[in-house]
């Protein structure tokens, strides 16, 4: 196996507001990996992925800037990480085309996200939605990224990314693309809905009470936690006691991730507490951690030009990494002039 520079890539879709799930499952961990200093870190607003389902153009523009503000407010530092939106770096779409010709229809058909999003009416879904995972593989592999921090829901897409890299390397008899490692770690890799512990917290859930949005104000956050569905029992003192209690497990996991500790430690402190006592503490913790992010996002959003400059600069840096890798890919494939 060739040696690859330790490099992190990850992306978030600008398709509506950011949730606590995005923050704890992804963004917060992006900041940790940036600050560890072990990796080059590349973070992307994946606008080409967002348009695989309909996006109102003005809303997409706003959501992209808001997402960039969210990244920065959460601690992604454009002087330490490369921060940009996907459509500005054409190499993503160019490599995705090559991967469309490497990946097999059957692989795509097995993707649970495709099945969920296309639903029964798959004939009417966009071709882009079907090819979505090949573009995601291109996002990662156009930087030869070695590590990809994501939430649990992206695991299958990352396995497909490895399959594409392996098939490309085999088909062309090269050792060119790395087998990227998913990084799915910590207490909050799957933050669940506050209304239903069996469903993922999602920006597309029709009920706003099911999620905490990063732009929610303190009262709204506290109210949503107070009203979160729970069972009538007290918290257990061991994590085994959370089996078959998905809502309780979810609140404990959220607490642990916000407090940067483990569910075991949370239960060691709070085992035996009723939710009437635990929820206000969780609400205070959430407000303390999230309110500064939301305030900073609003401040940054007042200067859209500043955001666009950051994204433009990030795109230049990203292109400098991606262009030679795409050029070499074209050479391997046999494109004249590459």
**Of the ranges 19-27, 72-80, 116-124, 262-270, which one interacts with ligand TYM (CB under 6 A)?**
19-27
160 binding ligand TYM? (CB under 6 A)? no
CB of 173 to ligand TYM, least distance (A): 27
Residues that bind ligand TYM (rule: CB under 6 A) add up to a total of 26
29 binding ligand TYM? (CB under 6 A)? no
Contact 8, 145 (CB under 8 A): yes
Contact 76, 27 (CB under 8 A): yes
Give Cβ neighbours of residue 191 (< 8 Å, ≥ 6 apart): 19, 20, 21, 24, 25, 151, 200, 201, 250, 253, 254, 257
Cα(301)–Cα(70) distance, rounded to whole angstroms?
9
CB of 79 to ligand TYM, least distance (A): 22
Check if 115 is active-site.
no
* Residues of span 244-283 touching ligand TYM by CB under 6 A: none
Q: Find the catalytic residue in 80, 155, 167, 203.
A: 203
Check if 227 is active-site.
no
Q: Is the Cα torsion angle 70, 73, 74, 75 positive or negative in sign?
A: positive
Nearer to ligand TYM, 237 or 317 (CB): 317
CB of 145 to ligand TYM, least distance (A): 8
Q: Find the catalytic residue in 117, 155, 167, 328.
A: 117
Choose among 14, 100, 23, 42: nearest CA to 318. Answer: 42
Cα(98)–Cα(171) distance, rounded to whole angstroms?
12
Check if 289 is active-site.
no
* Residues of span 135-154 touching ligand TYM by CB under 6 A: 136, 139-140, 148, 150-151, 153-154
What is the DSSP track for 59-82? Answer: HHHHHHHHHHHHHHHHT--TTTSE
Catalytic residues: 117, 200, 203
| Residues binding ligand TYM (CB under 6 A) | 9-13, 21-22, 25-26, 46, 49, 136, 139-140, 148, 150-151, 153-154, 157, 188-191, 200-201
């Amino acid at each position: 196996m060739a040696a690859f520079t330790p490099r992190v890539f990850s992306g978030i879709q600008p398709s509506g507001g950011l949730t606590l799930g995005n923050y704890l499952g992804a963004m917060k961990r992006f900041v940790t990996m940036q600050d560890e200093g072990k990796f080059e870190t590349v973070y992307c607003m994946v606008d080409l992925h967002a348009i695989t389902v309909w996006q109102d153009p003005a809303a997409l523009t706003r959501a992209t800037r808001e997402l960039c503000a969210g990244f920065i407010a959460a601690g992604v530092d454009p002087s330490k990480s490369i921060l940009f939106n996907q459509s500005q770096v054409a190499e993503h779409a160019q490599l995705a085309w090559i991967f469309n010709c490497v990946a097999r229809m059957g692989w795509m058909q097995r993707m649970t996200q495709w099945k969920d999003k296309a639903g029964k009416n798959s004939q009417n879904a966009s071709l882009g939605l079907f090819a979505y995972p090949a573009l995601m593989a291109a996002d990662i592999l156009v930087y030869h990224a070695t590590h990809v921090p994501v939430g649990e829901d992206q695991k299958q897409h990352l396995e497909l990314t490895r399959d594409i890299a392996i098939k490309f390397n085999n088909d062309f008899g090269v050792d060119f693309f790395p087998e990227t490692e998913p990084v799915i770690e910590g207490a909050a890799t799957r933050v669940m809905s506050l209304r239903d512990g069996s469903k993922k917290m999602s920006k597309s859930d029709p009920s706003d009470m099911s999620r905490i949005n990063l732009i929610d104000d303190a009262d709204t956050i506290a109210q949503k936690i107070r009203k979160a569905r729970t069972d009538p029992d007290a918290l257990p003192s061991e994590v085994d006691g959370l089996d078959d209690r998905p809502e309780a497990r979810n609140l404990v996991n959220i607490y642990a991730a916000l407090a940067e500790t483990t569910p075991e430690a949370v239960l060691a402190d709070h085992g035996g507490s009723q939710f009437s006592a635990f929820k206000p503490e969780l609400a205070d913790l959430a407000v303390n951690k999230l309110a500064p992010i939301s305030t900073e996002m609003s401040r940054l959003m007042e200067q859209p030009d500043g955001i666009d400059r950051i994204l433009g600069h990030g795109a230049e840096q990203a292109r400098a990494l991606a262009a030679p890798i795409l050029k070499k890919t074209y050479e391997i494939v046999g494109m004249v002039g590459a």
